[in-house]
Amino acid sequence: MIDAEKLKILTESAKYDVSCSSSGSARKNTKNGIGNASFGGICHSFTPDGRCISLLKILLGNRCVYNCLYCPNRAEADVPRASATPDEICELVISFYRRNYIEGLFLSSAVEISPDATMERMLETVVKLRKVYNFNGYIHLKGIPHADRLLVSRAAEYADRMSYNIELPSEKSLKLLAPQKSKESVFLPMRRLASEKRALGEEKGAKRRVFLPAGQTTQMIVGASPESDGEILRLSEAMYRRFSLKRVYYSSYIPVVKHSLLPDRAAGLLREHRLYQADWLMRFYGFGANEIASEGENLPAEYDPKCAWALKNMHLFPVEINRAPLEMLLRVPGIGNIGAYKIMKARKFSALDFSDLEKMRVVLKRARHFITCKGKFYGNENRAAVRALLAAENESVKYEQLSLFSSPELSLSALTGQL
Partner 1 sequence: MKIYLTDGTPYGFYTAAFFAPEGEDLISSQKNVQLTLGCEIVCVETDREKAERVLARLRRCDPFAEEEISLILRSKDGRRERTALDYLAKILDRRAPVRAQLSDPAVLAARDFVRRVRGEAHRFTGFLRFTEGENGVFYAPFEPDNDVLELILPHFAERLKNQAFIIHDVKRKKAALYNGRERAIVCTDEKVSVSLSCREQDFQALWAEYYRSANIAERPHEKQMKGYMPVRYWKYMPEKNRDL
* Contacting residues toward partner 1, per CB under 8 A: 1-2, 4, 7-8, 11-12, 15-16, 29, 32-36, 38, 42-54, 56-57, 92, 95-96, 98-101, 103, 254, 266, 269, 342, 345-346, 348-350, 352, 356, 359-360, 411-413, 415
Taking the complex as a whole, the smallest distance from the CB of residue 56 to partner 1 amounts, in Å, to: 7
Residue 371 pairs in a beta bridge with 319
**DSSP summary character for residue 208:** P
Distances (CA, A) of 76 to 34, 259, 405: 41, 12, 47
CB 82 within 8 A of CB 62: yes
What H or E segment, with its residue span, contains residue 59? strand 55-59
Closer residue to partner 1 (CB): 11 or 313: 11
Q: What are phi and psi of 198, to 5 degrees?
A: -65, -45
In the complex, the smallest distance separating the C-beta of residue 229 from partner 1, rounded to whole angstroms, is: 21
Rounded to a whole number of angstroms, the minimum distance from the CB of residue 388 to partner 1 is: 34
Q: What is the 3-state secondary structure (H, E, C) of 320-386?
A: ECCCCCHHHHCCCCCCCHHHHHHHHHHCCCCCCCHHHHHHCCCCCCCHHHCEEECCEECCCCCHHHH
Query: Whose Cβ is closer to partner 1: residue 116's or residue 255's?
Result: 255
Half-sphere exposure of 287 (CA within 13 A, CB side): 28
Helix, strand, coil % over all residues of the chain, rounded to 5: 40, 10, 50
Which residues make beta-bridge pairs with 250?
Answer: 220
Q: Please identify, using beta-carbon distances, which residue of 133 and 240 lies nearer to partner 1.
A: 133
Please say which residue, 98 or 259, places its beta carbon nearer to partner 1: 98
Q: Please choose, from the candidates 284, 289, 297, 268, the residue with its C-alpha nearest in 3D space to the C-alpha of residue 393.
A: 297
Per-residue CA distances from 273 to 250, 300, 413 (Å):
9, 11, 8
48 vs 325, beta carbon nearer partner 1: 48
Alpha-carbon Rg for the chain, nearest whole angstrom, is 24
Minimum distance from residue 209 beta carbon to partner 1 (Å): 23
Could you give the CA distance from residue 287 to residue 38 in angstroms, rounded to a whole number? 29
Minimum CB–partner distance for residue 300 and partner 1 (Å): 23
Beta carbons of 37 and 138 less than 8 angstroms apart: yes
Q: How many CA atoms lie within 13 A of 43 on its CB side?
A: 12
Residue with smaller CB distance to partner 1, 44 or 387: 44
Nearer to partner 1, 151 or 221 (CB): 221
Name the residue nearer to partner 1 (CB basis): 15 or 128. 15
Nearer to partner 1 among residue 95 and residue 294 (C-beta): 95
- Minimum Å gap between C-beta 140 and partner 1 is 15
Rounded least distance, CB 249 to partner 1, Å: 15
Tell me the C-alpha distance between 377 and 277, whole Å.
27
CB 87, min distance to partner 1, A: 15
* Nearest distance, CB of residue 410 and partner 1, angstroms: 13
